[in-house]
Chains A and B, each alone.
Chain A
Amino acid sequence: MSSIISLSGIQKYYGDYHALRGIDLEIKQGEFFSLLGPSGCGKTTLLRVIAGFEDVSEGVLLLDGADMARVPANKRPTNMVFQSYAIFPHLTVGQNVAFGLRKKGLSKDDMAKAAAEALEMVGLAGYGDRAAHALSGGQRQRVALARALVLKPKVLLLDEPLSALDKKMREQMQGELRRLQRQVGITFILVTHDQEEALIMSDRIAVMFEGEIAQMASPQELYRRPATRRVGEFIGVMNFLEAKQTGTSEKTINFDVEGLGAAEIGIDQFPEGARASADVVGLRPEALSILFEGQKSTGRVADATVQDLAYYGDMTYYEVTLEGSSTPVTISMKNLISRPVLERGTKTRVQWDERSLVIFAA
């Protein structure tokens, strides 16, 4: 598989403000790629650089092997779904979808046919004659998608396309977008600040902070092995505990972890360059579990007190403090019929697995 997009050393300044600080990125043909980060991290700027709405201060952008430096937005093989959808209010749904087809030199009938097909693809068959301003949020989003996809771009850019939808609609559209992407085989680049959305939809995710890519990896890799504490914090929930190195052997390094005690961590669990500086370890809420009365432990065990809890129906999130530590630790437990929901102040035991401890590179 070849790279459809290749960015190297992209820098972007707005006056004194350094919006993009040296972005290197290769995106493969047919990939669902996400740019994830908090607001102001430069993810939207990067997307607009690719679309051609912002010129770069430095660096090279190749689109399907061609340098895009002097190519304006209207000549690039990319199409965008805007955050506001940017549906033309003075046109009908069909005219919106056919807007970009004028350049393709199609006959009127062919244009109408292509627009109708695109609308059918996004589940809006027969909406062609409707006025654009009479659509709901979800429908506008679909029209924006159809309008971009009907031009068969090499890359589809999506700028927070689901952020304006309510939760139910958003979840439905996440699935539909993913299906659509597989169906058309076009490279999708999604900008989002919603880590859950990025995890659900992407083949690969680049996490950005302050104009830089902090980590680029598959969703699983990103969740299991966040490179930095900040990435770990941004994606899902993560507990951080102080750790002191107590010794090394050939394949493991021994730590004394705050509240949990001795831990032998395999060298393969260390990301590159992490060994010397590791003084804090991360632990996902599901890597710890509460030992209910009469349950036998299958790993290492520590004593804890329940400080607080949040009941979600299918899950309960406990906030506990470990014996000998004051750091609150979050534990998620599936609610089974055989399991009680513990009350605040309950003394209990928690079980953990040293293989799920995360060591950070920095």
Chain B
Amino acid sequence: MSSALSTGRLGLQIRLPHATFAVSCDADQGGAKQISTRFDTDAKRGLTLISPTAIYVLLLLAVPLATIFAFSFWSQDFLSIDRTLTLKNYREAFTDPIYRVFLLRSLWISGVVTVVTVVLAFPIAYFVSFHVPPERKALWIFLITIPFWTSYLLRAFLWKVILGFNGVLNSGLLGLGLIDEPLTFILYNTNAVVITLAHAFAPFTILPIYVALEKIDRSLLEASQDLGEGTARTFFRVTLPLAMPGVVAATLIVFIPTIGDYVTPRLVGGPDGLMIANMIQTQFLKLNNAPMGAALSVLAMGAVTLISLIFLFANRRFLK
């Protein structure tokens, strides 16, 4: 036993129930004390290992977040910041209709983008997982990630070229004689924002759904057939419920960041397609009202968090 204690592996062992049992049998000769010191050493080593990342995260995420939070309770006094705590910004955010319009529109656009992306991504993930031969799956996944080789900004610009008044889509359709005049509902409005964002986030949704589908034991599908269910029923009774962790992950991966997106609405959204992030940017940079911008940021984060938690709660039975 003493040799086992000196190997330094015990920190790992004592997390296993049977090993704990084995240790406690010998604990009468000061063994327990020795274990606790060992464990501290292990914990120290662990903390050392994670500290660079932890410090990085703390400095670049926690501190700015806390700053934003603090700012939202301060107020702008012409050129200087008044640091007396006040709810003035929040009061304004809730009473002035413009902020409500922006926030609700953002939530609506994010919701639509999420639904469109996930609904379109599922068949692709399903196809790659179930119908592509195993040796080609890696190639398919690789091809799906190709859009990432270009910067996000460039892709948003390209959609402008595609969807524009004299853009690729319109001139193509005009040339084919399918339309008589250029379509205008596809650029500088929320539709354009949805199309561009859905394209940008497609790989993010395909991958988690694909992983969830890959994890499904194929014999479960055979079992469902064996028990009398056809293809469609098998999909709804077995495949889809088991793919739900991936669908939930995909949904959150799209929904959470799209709320805060401001590049795409700026480029292709026109005046009607602007989102809360554009308003926040305006507050910080143009109106020089950082506290108001901070308050809007906090509200946007709060709304996303709340909706995400409700969504997770609604799907909790799939996430066990």
Q: Which residues of A contact B (CB under 8 A)?
A: 51-53, 72-75, 78-80, 82-84, 86, 88-90, 99-100, 102-103, 131, 133, 147-148, 151
* A115 to B: closest C-beta gap in Å: 12
Q: Are B241 and A90 in contact (CB under 8 A)?
A: yes
Q: Are B226 and A89 in contact (CB under 8 A)?
A: no
Name the residue among B219, B227, B237 with the largest chain A CB count within 10 angstroms. Answer: B227
Q: Are A84 and B219 in contact (CB under 8 A)?
A: yes
Q: Is B223's CB within 8 Å of the partner chain A? A: yes
Question: With A and B bound together, what is the CA distance between A44 and B122 in angstroms?
Answer: 33
Question: With A and B bound together, what is the CA distance between A302 and B238 in angstroms?
Answer: 66
Q: Are A51 and B220 in contact (CB under 8 A)?
A: no
Known: A86-B217, A86-B220, A88-B220. A73 touches B225 (CB 8 A): yes
Q: Number of contacting residues on B, CB 8 A?
A: 19
Question: With A and B bound together, what is the CA distance between A139 and B238 in angstroms?
Answer: 21
Question: With A and B bound together, what is the CA distance between A83 and B219 in angstroms?
Answer: 9
Question: With A and B bound together, what is the CA distance between A148 and B226 in angstroms?
Answer: 9
Label chain B's interface by main secondary structure.
Answer: helix
Known: A53-B222, A73-B222. A99 touches B241 (CB 8 A): no
Which residues of A have CB within 8 Å of B317?
A: 90
Name the residue among B220, B230, B241, B317 with the largest chain A CB count within 10 angstroms. Answer: B220
Q: Are A79 and B226 in contact (CB under 8 A)?
A: yes
- For window 269-320 of chain B, which residues contact chain A by CB distance below 8 Å? 317-318, 320
Q: Is B224's CB within 8 Å of the partner chain A? A: yes
23 A-B Cβ contacts within 8 A? A51-B226, A53-B226, A73-B222, A73-B226, A74-B226, A74-B230, A78-B226, A80-B226, A82-B219, A84-B219, A86-B219, A86-B220, A88-B224, A89-B242, A90-B241, A90-B242, A90-B318, A99-B229, A99-B237, A100-B227, A102-B228, A133-B320, A148-B226
* A70 to B: closest C-beta gap in Å: 15
Name the residue among B226, B228, B237 with the largest chain A CB count within 10 angstroms. Answer: B226
Which residues of A have CB within 8 Å of B242?
A: 89-90
Q: Are A103 and B228 in contact (CB under 8 A)?
A: yes
Question: With A and B bound together, what is the CA distance between A133 and B220 in angstroms?
Answer: 14
- For window 199-220 of chain B, which residues contact chain A by CB distance below 8 Å? 217, 219-220
Which residues of A have CB within 8 Å of B219?
A: 82-84, 86
Q: Are A151 and B225 in contact (CB under 8 A)?
A: no
From A53, which residue of chain B is reached at the shortest CB distance? B222
Question: With A and B bound together, what is the CA distance between A148 and B219 in angstroms?
Answer: 14
* A213 to B: closest C-beta gap in Å: 25
Question: With A and B bound together, what is the CA distance between A102 and B233 in angstroms?
Answer: 11
Q: Are A151 and B217 in contact (CB under 8 A)?
A: no
Q: How many A-B pairs with Cβ below 8 Å?
A: 63
Which residues of A have CB within 8 Å of B220?
A: 86, 88-89
Q: Are B224 and A99 in contact (CB under 8 A)?
A: yes
* A178 to B: closest C-beta gap in Å: 23
From B219, which residue of chain A is reached at the shortest CB distance? A86
Q: Which residues of B contact A (CB under 8 A)?
A: 217, 219-220, 222-230, 237-238, 241-242, 317-318, 320
From A157, which residue of chain B is reached at the shortest CB distance? B226
Complex partner residue of A151 from B223, B227, B238, CB under 8 angstroms: B227
Q: Are A72 and B222 in contact (CB under 8 A)?
A: no
Which residues of A have CB within 8 Å of B241?
A: 90
From B231, which residue of chain A is reached at the shortest CB distance? A74
Complex partner residue of A88 from B223, B226, B228, CB under 8 angstroms: B223
* A1 to B: closest C-beta gap in Å: 26
9 closest Cβ contacts across the A-B interface?
Answer: A100-B227, A86-B223, A86-B219, A103-B228, A73-B225, A74-B225, A90-B241, A80-B226, A100-B228
* B222 to A: closest C-beta gap in Å: 6
Question: With A and B bound together, what is the CA distance between A72 and B226 in angstroms?
Answer: 9
Q: Are A147 and B227 in contact (CB under 8 A)?
A: yes
Q: Are A79 and B222 in contact (CB under 8 A)?
A: no
Q: Are A151 and B228 in contact (CB under 8 A)?
A: yes
Which residues of A have CB within 8 Å of B217?
A: 84, 86
Which residues of A have CB within 8 Å of B237?
A: 99
Which residues of A have CB within 8 Å of B227?
A: 74, 79, 99-100, 147-148, 151
Which residues of A have CB within 8 Å of B238?
A: 88
Complex partner residue of B223 from A75, A80, A131, CB under 8 angstroms: A80
Which residues of B have CB within 8 Å of A88?
A: 220, 223-224, 238
Which residues of B have CB within 8 Å of A51?
A: 226
Which residues of B have CB within 8 Å of A86?
A: 217, 219-220, 222-223
Q: Are B320 and A131 in contact (CB under 8 A)?
A: yes
Question: With A and B bound together, what is the CA distance between A88 and B229 in angstroms?
Answer: 14
Which residues of B have CB within 8 Å of A103?
A: 228-229
